[in-house]
Structure 1
Amino acid sequence: MLTVIVGGFFGDEGKGKIAAYLAIADNCRYAVRTGSINAGHTVYFEGKAYKLRSIPSGFVNKSTELLIAPGALIRLDVLWNELKELNVKERTKIDYNAGIIEEKHIELEKRDSVLTSIGSTFQGVGAAMSDRVLRKLKLAKDTEELRGMLIDVSEKVNYAVDSGENVIIEGTQGTFLSLYHGTYPYVTSRDTTASGIISEVGIGPKKVGDVILVFKSFVTRVGEGPLENEMSKEEAEKLGLVEKGTVTGRMRRVAPFNVNLAKRAIMLNSATQIAITKIDWLFKEAYGVKEWSKLPPEARKWIEGLEAELKVPITLVGTGEDTMQVVDRRKEVGL
C-alpha cells in the first residue's frame, strides 16, 4: 500500500518522525523523499539525532530501500555527507531526472532582495527550480558522480505498489508553504500538498492508499508570513514551546493549534488519517507513553475533541522525540 505523508501547517510538524516510525511499524519496502534541501527532517533513533535534508527518514529500517524522486533537488555535498553518516549508499537510489543544485544557485539567491524579504533559507532551491522551468537545470543523469546510483524511481514505486508492497512517500515542508495553496508570497518554490508530492514521484492518485496529514500540537512557522494568534516570545517561553528550525537554526514563531487551518489542510490533501506530534509538550505526563489507555485523561480528551471537530481519525500520536515514542491507534479505529 502507498502512504503519503504531508505537513499540515508550515513545516516542522514531525513528518520525519512519522515516516521513520511507519518504515519500521509497517516494514516498508521503499521510502521515497521528495522536495529539497531547504527542508530538514530530524529523526531521533536509538539515542542519536539525525538531521536529514536529502535521505528519506525511513533509513531507520535497515531493510527499507531509499529512493530520491524525479521531482527532488539535491546538492551533492549534502548528499555525500548524509550517505556517509548513515552508511546507506548501497540502498539509496536516485531518479535520473532529479535536479542538481549548484553553487551558482546559492549565490544567486543571496543577491536577491525579494528572497531576503520573504525569509528564504538561501539553499539555492528557488534558483534551481527557476532553471528547471527554463529547461536549463543540470539533472542527476548528467552527473558523472551519481552514475552507479541512478534508476527509474517512478517505475520502481508503481511496480511495488501494484505488487502489494508497502511504500511511504515523505513530503516536505507544509501545506501552507505550497506555491499554489500557501500564504503567497511567503511560500516555497513547489506544491507541498499530497497532489504535488505524488506528482514529484510519478505515481497517480488512484494508487494512493492513505494520506497521513501531520500536525504538531501547536503551530510554528520559520521566517516571514502571516501566523494567526501568534504568541509573543515571552508567552512561548513560558509555555515551553520554543524551537529552532532544522536547516536555518532560526527561532520558530509560535501559535496555538489552529482548527480552521487544519480543516483547510484536510480539504486540500484529502487526508484519510491524522498524526499529532509533540502531545507531550502540552501534557508533560504523556512523555514516552505508547498505549492510548496510559495517556493522561486530559490528553485523550484533547485528542478526542480535536478528532470530533476535524472528522478524520487521529491514528498516530507522538509522545516524545524518539522514533518509537508513538501511540498507534490504527487497529483501535479499524484501520
Structure 2
Amino acid sequence: MRDRNSQCVVIVGSQWGDEGKGKIVDVLADQVDVVARYQGGSNAGHTVHVGSEEFILHQIPSGILHPRRRCLLGNGVVFDPFQFFQELDALTARGIDAEGRVGVSGRAHLLLSYHKTWDRAQEASRGSGKIGTTGRGIGPAYEDKVARQGIRLADLRDRARAEEQLRRAAARVNQRLELLDTDERVDADALVDELMSIRDRLLAISVDTGRVIHDALKAGQRVLLEGAQGALLDVDHGTYPYVTSSNTTAGGAALGVGIGPTRVDDVIGVVKAYTTRVGEGPLPTEFMDELQERVRTLGGEYGATTGRPRRCGWFDSVVVRYAARVNGLTGLAVTKLDVLDTLDELQIAVSYRAEGEELDDFPGDLGLLATAEPVYETLPGWKTSTADARRWEDLPENARRYLDRLSELTETPIWYVSVGTRRDQIIHVER
C-alpha cells in the first residue's frame, strides 16, 4: 500500500459507483492479509481481470483471487446466501481456493427471496417515479434491518425460532403484496425448506468480523476495507432518493465491520477519469448522444450486475471534491484513463451555475441540482495510447496535465492510475 505504516485502508467509490474498485482492491490485496466488505449486497459487481480471465464478484471481496488472503463480509452487508454459495462454488470450479478463506459476520442480515419479490413489485408500482433499483432485494433487506424485523445469520442457530421468523416474514410481505396490483406471493413452506437446506453450511462460515479484524491489526497484519457502490449513492450523502440503502461512504466502513473509526489509517477514493451512472437520478455532466455512445463503447460501460448501459459524462470535480470531503480521502485512484486516449479535447466541470449563482459545492437540493449547468474547463487530449504506461513519466504530457488538474480541483493527491483492465496495467504514482 502507499504507506508502509498504514495498517487499515478503506477503498471507497467516489462518484456514482462502477468506478473500478474491484481492480484497485485486487491490486492492493497483494499487500494485505485481510479484505472485508463493509456494506451493500449482491447488487455490487466488481470486475477483475487476471491474465486472460475475467471474474465478476458480487459479494465475495476481490481479494479472494489472491492465495491465502482472508476475506470477510461484515455486519453492514445484507447477505444473499444462495447467490453467495453460487459465487463461491463457481470460483472453486475455476481453480480458486476459496472455500475456508471466507467468513461472514453472524450479525449480517440475510437477504432472502421474499425481499426480491417485494423489491420488484414495489418498483413496478412506482410507474414513472421509479428509483432504478437492481431488483435484488437490497432496499427491502435494509428496511427490515432498520425496522428490527430482519433475520441475521446468527439467528439460524436456533432452528425453531428461525423458522418462526421466516413464516412471520412471509405473512408480512404477502399482506403488502395484496395492496399492489400483482399476483406474486411468498410460499412460507418453500421459504423455510429452502433456507434450512443450507443452514449448516451457513453456520460453518459465521464469524465475528470485528474480532477477526481487531486481532489481525493487533498482530501487525494489514487490512483492506472494501465498499460497494459510490459516495453519491450513500443514503445520507448521495442524490437522495436516487441512492442505495446503506452508507457507502468511508464513515460506514468501521461501523460495517465492527471496529472503531480510529483504526482506519487511509481512505483511497476510486474515480473514473470521466463520470458514469447507472439508472435514474441526476448526472450534471452527461454527454450528448454521439459522444455518449462513443465513450460507452470505448469503456465497455454496461453494468456488471444488471447489464444496463451506463450513462457517461465528463469528469465532475464538484462531485469528487464533495466526495473527498465527506469521505476524508487521503488519496485518489483514477481508473480508465485509457478510455480517453482518442479524444481531441477533454472537459472538466469545475463548478455549477444555478439560479444566477456559481456553486463550487455539491447541492443537497435535487431541485437546485436539476437546474444546475456545469461550468467547464477545456484541456487538450493526448491522442496516443496510454495502455503500456507503467510509470508517471511514461504518460503523455497532456495526460499528466489532465491528471494534475483533477488532483488540484479535487484537492486530493493521485496515488494510482489505471490504464487498462489487466492487473498489471496500473501506475503507482511516486511524486
The answer to whether TM tops 0.5 is yes
CA apart distance, 1:241: 4.5
Alignment of 1:14-29 (within 5 A): 14-24=20-30, 26=31, 28-29=32-33
Alignment of 1:18-97 (within 5 A): 18-24=24-30, 26=31, 28-34=32-38, 35-87=40-92, 88-97=98-107
Alignment of 1:164-203 (within 5 A): 164-203=220-259
CA apart distance, 1:311: 2.5
Partner residue in 2 for 1:13: 19
The answer to whether the aligner puts 1:245 opposite 2:251 as a matched pair is no
1:125 to 138, 147, 157: 138
What is the alpha-carbon distance in structure 1 between the residues aligned to residue 212 and residue 424 of structure 2? Answer: 28
What is the alpha-carbon distance in structure 1 between the residues aligned to residue 294 and residue 43 of structure 2? Answer: 29
AA of the residue aligned to 2:33: R
Q: Which moved more, 1:44-53 or 1:7-16?
A: 44-53
Higher relative contact order (CA 8 A, sep 6+): 1
Deviations 1:67-117 (A, max 9, x none): 110111121221111111222021111111111111111011111124971
Partner residue in 1 for 2:208: 152
Partner residue in 1 for 2:189: none
What is the alpha-carbon distance in structure 1 between the residues aligned to residue 230 and residue 253 of structure 2? Answer: 11
1:293 to 373, 393, 409: 393
What is the alpha-carbon distance in structure 1 between the residues aligned to residue 74 and residue 409 of structure 2? Answer: 35
CA apart distance, 1:149: 0.9
CA contact (8 A) 2:285 2:315 kept: no
1:205 to 261, 266, 280: 261
Which SS does the other structure have where 1:94 is aligned?
strand
Which SS does the other structure have where 1:90 is aligned?
coil
Q: Which moved more, 1:140-149 or 1:108-117?
A: 108-117
What is the alpha-carbon distance in structure 2 between the residues aligned to residue 288 and residue 104 of structure 1? Answer: 48
CA contact (8 A) 1:6 1:175 kept: yes
RMSD: 1.5
CA contact (8 A) 2:299 2:336 kept: no
| Structure 2 residue runs without a partner (length 5+) | 1-6, 93-97, 157-198, 342-383
Partner residue in 1 for 2:284: 228
TM-score, with normalisation over the residues of structure 1? 0.95
CA apart distance, 1:206: 1.1
Partner residue in 2 for 1:2: 8
What is the alpha-carbon distance in structure 1 between the residues aligned to residue 204 and residue 329 of structure 2? Answer: 37
CA contact (8 A) 1:43 1:49 kept: yes
The 1:252/1:138 distance shift into structure 2, 3 A limit, reads same
| Structure 1 residue runs without a partner (length 5+) | none
* Poorly superposed stretches of 4+, deviation over 6 Å: none
What is the alpha-carbon distance in structure 2 between the residues aligned to residue 176 and residue 18 of structure 1? Answer: 19
TM-score, with normalisation over the residues of structure 2? 0.74
Which SS does the other structure have where 2:232 is aligned?
helix
AA of the residue aligned to 1:292: W
Which SS does the other structure have where 1:82 is aligned?
helix
CA apart distance, 1:242: 5.1
The 1:152/1:252 distance shift into structure 2, 3 A limit, reads same
What is the alpha-carbon distance in structure 1 between the residues aligned to residue 45 and residue 150 of structure 2? Answer: 23
Deviations 1:143-202 (A, max 9, x none): 423111111100111221233211101101000001000111101101110001221111
